[in-house]
Amino acid sequence: MLNILVVGDLILDEYLFCDCLRISPEAPVPVINPKYNKLSLGGCANVALNIKKLGANVDVLSVLGNDECANFIKKMLKENEINYEIISDKNKKSSKKTRIFGQNQQIVRIDVESCEVISDDMADCLFKNIEDKNYDAIVFSDYDKGVLSPYLVKKIISFAKNKNILTLADPKKDFLKFKDIDILTPNYKEATEFLGLFDDEDDDNLSKKLILMKEKLNIKYPLITLGKNGIALYNNNTLTRHLALAKEVFDVTGAGDSVISSLAYFLSRKKDINEAIKLANKAAAIVVSKIGSYAVSIDEINEFSEDDIYKKQVKNISEFVQKNKNKKIVFTNGCFDLLHLGHLSYLRKAKQLGDLLVIGLNSDESIKRLKGLARPINDINTRLAMLCALEFIDAVIVFSDDTPLEIIKELKPDILVKGADYKDKEIVGSNFAKQTCLIDFVDGYSSTNIINKIKETQC
């Protein structure tokens, strides 16, 4: 079984659920009526709990105050069979975050804590508890509460390097103390504070920032978690984006913990970095669908379906027609290999013609027959996901024939849309549509032109 160490700030999370039905006459604030509360492990304890639930042995290394909050955290760690080496500091106030919810919406958070950085002597005392141990991975969970001093972090990273132990950190403010670590997992806000502002939707801009992070900190895998935009990794001179998989977002608490926990576990299992990120993305999607911190199991990750990415795909046309019999259906088709401005303009105009825009999408095999073996550039799943992500597209139907004739026969769209270049040409399926409409393209845009430009830049 894997053995993983988690070092960082321990926090007790309290969730107070209330009824909130009116605004106070004394001030513009909600009046709440507490119903029940829930206590759970937070901070590095939540990271440890996540790793434990995935199936590894976990040790926790930290500092707490000598108070009731500390006692409760230790009790919960013990109940969850998580080993710990915790120094009690009578001058420290253990961290507790109380989140107050009204009608399942967070209203306010109350933090009780002290955040003084631990002394080097205390760091040495902590380190003595692990210097004779072997771990598969060491995770630093930094909540800026004082446990992860630069001195302690440097000492543990050096220890890990000598023993060839994987190291990961979820940083808060001070990135530089994690120099020489294997993996850093900042979110967008944290990354901008260290690297400067950047457009996370621009690949070139994002790549430069990830390269800068790698160079400044000498890390193996620079990555940034981007919330709804997923996770970005720069590796082997290539930027890889892993799309967010969340179906519904109720509470983002603990999402970062689930990501670093999953990465530590799956990389320790010798998974490839991209595969580990895919699995971590699934864990994060599950966590944000819950209220409060939540530890995800291996079974939940394995059972998580990414099908919602393709939720606009239609496989039963007759059922779709029956369900939307009172809607004005617009249909068009294409390969949509490399989405560009021309596609977006064309599809937006098509949508404006009716209630529902349905796209017929050529399969990979169909495109190869039409355009040659070098195409498509993007496979069917990628092209399907991109079309499903566009808000003005209501449904996508994949077809393997050379033309969408069979789809049009069954769909019988109110309007069949083609490009203006079809003027005076026979349009397949037009006799099964109530109306045919031609739409002008934006000049200068095509997938072929983009591919040719890329080829020219490589010459």
Kindly list the catalytic residues: 257
Is 113 among the annotated ligand-binding positions? no
Residue among 134, 158, 136 at smallest CA distance from 266: 136
- Which amino acid is present at 10? L
Is 187 among the annotated ligand-binding positions? yes
Residues 148, 177 contacting (CB under 8 angstroms): yes
DSSP state of 441: P
Is 188 among the annotated ligand-binding positions? yes
Looking up tokens 């790793």 gives 51
Characterize 398-423 residue by residue with b for buried, 16 or more Cβ atoms within 10 angstroms of its Cβ, and e for exposed.
Answer: bbeeeebeebbeebebbbbbbeeeee
Q: Residue 342 in 3-state DSSP? A: helix
3-class SS letters over 249-302: CCCCCCHHHHHHHHHHHHHHCCCCHHHHHHHHHHHHHHHCCCCCCCCCCHHHHH
Is 57 among the annotated ligand-binding positions? no
Residues 30, 102 contacting (CB under 8 angstroms): yes
Characterize 277-300 residue by residue with b for buried, 16 or more Cβ atoms within 10 angstroms of its Cβ, and e for exposed.
Answer: bbbbbbbbbbbbeebbbbbbeeeb
d(CA 278, CA 273): 9
List C-alpha distances in Å: 222 to 186, 239, 247, 265, 284: 9, 10, 26, 18, 19
Other Cβ atoms less than 10 A from the Cβ of 352: the count is 11
CB neighbour list of residue 226: distance below 8 Å, 6 or more residues apart:
187, 188, 200, 232, 244
Residues belonging to the binding site for ATP are 187-190
Residues belonging to the binding site are 187-190
